[in-house]
Structure 1
Amino acid sequence: MEEIEKVFCVPGESYLPVLDALYDATFIQVISARHEGGASFMAEGYAKSTLKPGVVFATRGVGATNLSIGVHTAYQDSTPMVVFLGQVHSQFRGREGFQEIDLEKYFAPITKWAVEVKDAKRMPELVQRAFKIAKSGRPGPVIVSLPEDVLPIQEEMIFRPAMNIPKPAPSETEINHVKQLLNQTEHPLIIAGGGVKNAQAELELLHFAEKYSIPVMASFRRHDVFPNDHRLYVGHLGLGVNHNILETVKEADLIIALGTRLSEVTTQDYSLFDNKQKLIHIDISFDTLGKVYTPEIGILADAKEALKALFSLKIQDKWTEWARNRRNVYEKVSRLRVTKTDVINKHVIAKLVEKLPTDSLLTNDAGNFAGWLHSFYQFKEKHTYVGPTSGAMGYGMPAALGAKLAYPEKTVVSLSGDGGFMMTVQELETAVRYDIPIIALVFNNEMYGTIRMHQEMHYPNRVMATDLGGVSFSGMAKELGANGYQVHTIEQFESAFLKALTHRYITVIEILTEKEQISVTSTIEDIRQR
């Protein structure tokens, strides 16, 4: 009923009856991963790409805790996911049975719903409710706990058709209020988030912004919500944003927050707005409205329905000059020019821009290396970026595997640092086993770079625990059956990258980078001097 085509797992004896049932379900491809964390990242990346629930299975407490990082990512990223977890026999509960955890309590803070199926007859009801909850409102993860003694019971399973997800629209009163506020504003700004992507409302946002000449910013790691090369795109609100781009928000007198929860990063530690600015907050989740900032008007609505309703407003276009000015600022600070003295990171992004088809899909891990991607890469089409707003290390490569399974015809590239890549590197074997041909870029500076940066800010010259040992990721890739290249120069990178694009086989390109250039704008010595 839910039209699930792929599920991800690490097998466990606690849910063997489910695995046996999947043996007969030939219409579902089962991707068996090397680690539950990798499996959950794959499911999350797949879900974020398809906009359908990702499904992942794992065993009792040990498997469940391993995959919890992917559950947390799905929760913070508003990604629909249904997680089925084996559970100990009901007779053993409360005795600290083998691998026992109270899964409902454990996952309650990071899921939309967690439920244990205690009666086999209720399996259809609870599973269908799990999918409905995962998809409706602000999407997110749901946990279904499967006790070992419930799974073998044979009962007639009657499933109802999948429920249509409600898509509320603004009321006439709310539309009139928005019109009133827009008529009074001089510098409006749209901040567009994941709710636009989940509602598949990118085109409606484009038409709305163009009709009224309102500039658009993307919230944290939602770069592909609006074409970056469009005259109305004015930047991304993420980590290490150029202060000139932040000035656009500070100069705006009316913020239209569309499908964004106004997270800590998007709002720059909740410091970006002031009491003089008016806020229109439109979101599918009632709990999101007013949670961080009290809006002048909060509208509970699906982003697409809201934009269609707002498109009918009769308002004179008076913001063309404001939009042009802020676009000029964005172009000035984000224009990609490379010289021989620039670090290889920037050259790599330039080659991605030059060589990749515009519909290529990029994923990234957490780390300072992503600063070059976020600052200089232009996302021109929808469904071309998958990144973790949770900031989870180890995400990039397994998420790319999920994204490639969602869009097998697209070129999929992951970007990782050496620290994050090592956390889920075992999933390279999964990629080889299932022939999932992604290109994995690893920026190797032999340290936890982001943590080192903050360490130097607060405790200069006192390096502790952030240096890493030398690892040949290209050699490791070859040992696992993938193609592997180690490069020192941009010429070497270009050669390896072109081979990867041509061969269409799982490829790891290890890019050796210097420790000193710790971020896009600073060296370690710069930070120490400050």
Structure 2
Amino acid sequence: MSRAGHVLVASLLAQGLDHYTCVPGESFLPVLDAIVDLDDRVDLTVCRHESPAAHMAEAYGKLTGRPGVCFVTRGPGAFHASIGVHTADQDATPLLLFIGQISRADRGRGAFQEFDSHQVFGSIAKWVATIDDPRRIPETIARAVRIATSGRPGPVVIELPEDMLYEDVEGLTLPVVAPIASAVDASISDVIGDALARASRPLVVLGRGGWGEEQNGNVREFAEANDLPVVAAWRCQDHIDNDAPSYVGHLSLSTEPDLARLVEESDLVIGFGGHFGDVDTAGYTLLAPDASRTVIHLAHDGFDLDRYLHADIAVQSDSVTATRAVKGLRVDSSAWAPRTRAAREDWVRRSTPTADDELANMVSWLADRLPDDAVISNGAGNYAVWVHRYYRYRRYGTQLAPANGAMSYGLPAGIMASVLDGTRPSIVFGGDGCFLMSSMELATVASRGLPVIMVVVNNGAYGTIRMHQEREFPGRSSGTSLVNPDFAALARAHGIGGSTVTDRDGFAAAITAALEAGAPHLVEVLTDVARISPTKRITEAGLV
């Protein structure tokens, strides 16, 4: 005989899920009690706010390919965690969010913190379920894992009525989800080869969701053997080694004109992974349907096909099978090899900092200093433009960045990277606005002694919004200036080392000392808001 809370944890462990995040709530006490008995098998990260807790679990999904697990309580707890569900949906990341709910008999009475998860999460989760019968816990967990990881990965939300968790059950079998076999018609390699034979300006685009180190290597071999230019979709830069001669840049909110031109002029687009979104297509202006362009899209799920970009040849397959199918393909690339080399030279030029851009030189120094397996995490804000432009990602699983533009994401993601492997440097970037949205998790870093290095870029403003203001209403800023704490002192108040720097040399010294110490450290970088991006300045005349 076992209590339902114990059965739940045992069911998760049966699926190989042993890392959980939470903000504890009285609505799921039996789950917390089960972890006492299973403490030697469970790694529980207790957080200070549900939003970072959900983002930590989402980062676990990105790093491992298995669903991250997060427990929160009903009402405010669930709504705080909802941003993590949205991130998992937009980033195609497997996630299980468990919500402790009101007792079954109290539904519909307006009970304390009552709400309907099915209505709230129905538009952003792959599945929303309520476990009313404790005997169905193993079945529900197995199905949740299957749904979260199959096709286009994504989030599943499960309600746990509080009274259900206290019930006793016996004689349950804990099913283990088996992998789904995936196959691609052997002719797809010939189809792609024929399309390349007819092309003069081909392009490979790597989209989000369901990627891994093998796919990284497969695509690199395919691209290099055939002199194909490879572009990473929004925040997918670690899908291929950025030092590969085939890598020519990434699509972003500020895609450079020469890269946009390369994309738009392509007469054959071979896309792997997720859909082509508004960021990747510059607000749905690039890659509009064109009879002179052929599109081959190898996607995880039919859901990602024909969302704006029409696929002339559509293949539904997991990315391992898809990339294996093209790995050995060889064609005559003489028609486009010079174009690829020129595009690579353009990327090298764009990613080489000018001498007067201190932040760019800091990021470039970091790319040279860190090992290839270092994890770089960031949230959203103009500071991230420098990170994405000047850092070189060389292995998959080294970029943790939210495709949905969630501010606050960097610190919780970096924490999870360190929880999973403290031997890999975990570097968190955040702007002054972004970082403070999850800065309560400094306490989590301190309590677990995680060697996370945090870089807070402080320009005293919500920089992205300020940039848009200067473009639309020059010289009329409103609501974007910030009064900030001393970030280094804030870190020290948590027992974490803190430094403040203004130039590359000071930055290099602080980061080197932190890496050698193997302890958490926060480096505050003071910058001028007038330098609003690597290519834009705020002047009296507006944005130039």
**Normalising by the residue count of structure 2, what TM-score does the alignment of the two structures yield?**
0.94
Residue 485 of structure 1, aligned match among 499, 502, 507:
499
2:142, 2:175 within 8 Å by CA — same for their partners in 1? no
Q: What residue number does 1:4 align with?
A: 17
1:516, 1:525 within 8 Å by CA — same for their partners in 2? yes
**Does residue 327 in structure 1 map to residue 349 in structure 2?**
no
Shift of 1:251: 2.1
5 Å-filtered alignment, 1:22-61, equals: 22-26=35-39, 27-61=41-75
Q: Give SS of 2:115's match.
A: coil
Q: What residue number does 1:415 align with?
A: 429
Residue 122 of structure 2, aligned match among 105, 108, 112:
108
Q: What residue number does 1:289 align with?
A: 305
Distance 1:314 1:10 in 2: 53
Distance 2:367 2:414 in 1: 18
Q: What residue number does 2:8 align with?
A: none
Letter in 1 for 2:37: D
- Unmatched tracts of structure 1, length 5 or more: none
Letter in 2 for 1:203: G
Q: C-alpha offsets along residues 306-358 of structure 1, whole Å, 9 cap, x if unaligned?
A: 2222345463333322321221222222224x42xx23211211321232222
**Does residue 239 in structure 1 map to residue 253 in structure 2?**
yes
- From the superposition, tell whether residues 102 and 520 of structure 1 become closer, same or farther in structure 2 (CA, over 3 Å): same
**Does residue 155 in structure 1 map to residue 169 in structure 2?**
yes
**Does residue 317 in structure 1 map to residue 333 in structure 2?**
yes
Q: C-alpha offsets along residues 190-226 of structure 1, whole Å, 9 cap, x if unaligned?
A: 0012246258411111121122221111111011111
Letter in 2 for 1:74: A
**Does residue 128 in structure 1 map to residue 142 in structure 2?**
yes
Q: Give SS of 2:478's match.
A: coil
**Does residue 299 in structure 1 map to residue 299 in structure 2?**
no
Q: C-alpha offsets along residues 119-169 of structure 1, whole Å, 9 cap, x if unaligned?
A: 111111111111111111111110110011111011126344422332433
Distance 2:214 2:79 in 1: 32
Q: C-alpha offsets along residues 394-446 of structure 1, whole Å, 9 cap, x if unaligned?
A: 00011100111122210010100000100010000011101111000000111
Q: What residue number does 2:515 align with?
A: 501
Q: Give SS of 2:142's match.
A: helix
Q: Give SS of 1:121's match.
A: helix
- For structure 1, which segment, 488-497 or 475-484, has the greater mean C-alpha deviation from structure 2 after superposition? 488-497
Distance 1:305 1:467 in 2: 49
Distance 1:489 1:195 in 2: 36
Residue 27 of structure 2, aligned match among 14, 27, 31:
14
Q: C-alpha offsets along residues 343-383 of structure 1, whole Å, 9 cap, x if unaligned?
A: 32112113212322222110111010111111111112222
Distance 2:301 2:213 in 1: 13
Q: Give SS of 2:524's match.
A: strand
Letter in 2 for 1:293: L
Shift of 1:172: 4.0
1:191, 1:219 within 8 Å by CA — same for their partners in 2? yes
Distance 1:243 1:286 in 2: 31
Q: What residue number does 2:222 align with?
A: 208
1:196, 1:225 within 8 Å by CA — same for their partners in 2? no
2:203, 2:269 within 8 Å by CA — same for their partners in 1? yes
- From the superposition, tell whether residues 429 and 411 of structure 1 become closer, same or farther in structure 2 (CA, over 3 Å): same
1:199, 1:303 within 8 Å by CA — same for their partners in 2? no
Q: C-alpha offsets along residues 23-53 of structure 1, whole Å, 9 cap, x if unaligned?
A: 1112101110000001111111122112221
**Does residue 374 in structure 1 map to residue 388 in structure 2?**
yes
Distance 2:543 2:64 in 1: 47
Q: C-alpha offsets along residues 256-291 of structure 1, whole Å, 9 cap, x if unaligned?
A: 111131111111111111413221111011111112
Q: C-alpha offsets along residues 65-110 of structure 1, whole Å, 9 cap, x if unaligned?
A: 0011111111111111111110001111111110011012111111
**Normalising by the residue count of structure 1, what TM-score does the alignment of the two structures yield?**
0.96
1:416, 1:443 within 8 Å by CA — same for their partners in 2? yes
1:75, 1:141 within 8 Å by CA — same for their partners in 2? yes
1:192, 1:219 within 8 Å by CA — same for their partners in 2? yes
Letter in 2 for 1:139: P
Letter in 2 for 1:469: V
1:44, 1:54 within 8 Å by CA — same for their partners in 2? yes
1:115, 1:143 within 8 Å by CA — same for their partners in 2? yes
5 Å-filtered alignment, 1:504-515, equals: 504-515=518-529
CA RMSD of aligned residues (A): 1.7
- From the superposition, tell whether residues 112 and 238 of structure 1 become closer, same or farther in structure 2 (CA, over 3 Å): same
**Does residue 453 in structure 1 map to residue 457 in structure 2?**
no
2:129, 2:159 within 8 Å by CA — same for their partners in 1? yes
Distance 2:225 2:453 in 1: 39
Distance 1:317 1:103 in 2: 53
Letter in 2 for 1:226: I
- Unmatched tracts of structure 2, length 5 or more: 1-13
Identity of aligned residues (%): 36
Distance 2:505 2:309 in 1: 49
Shift of 1:292: 1.8
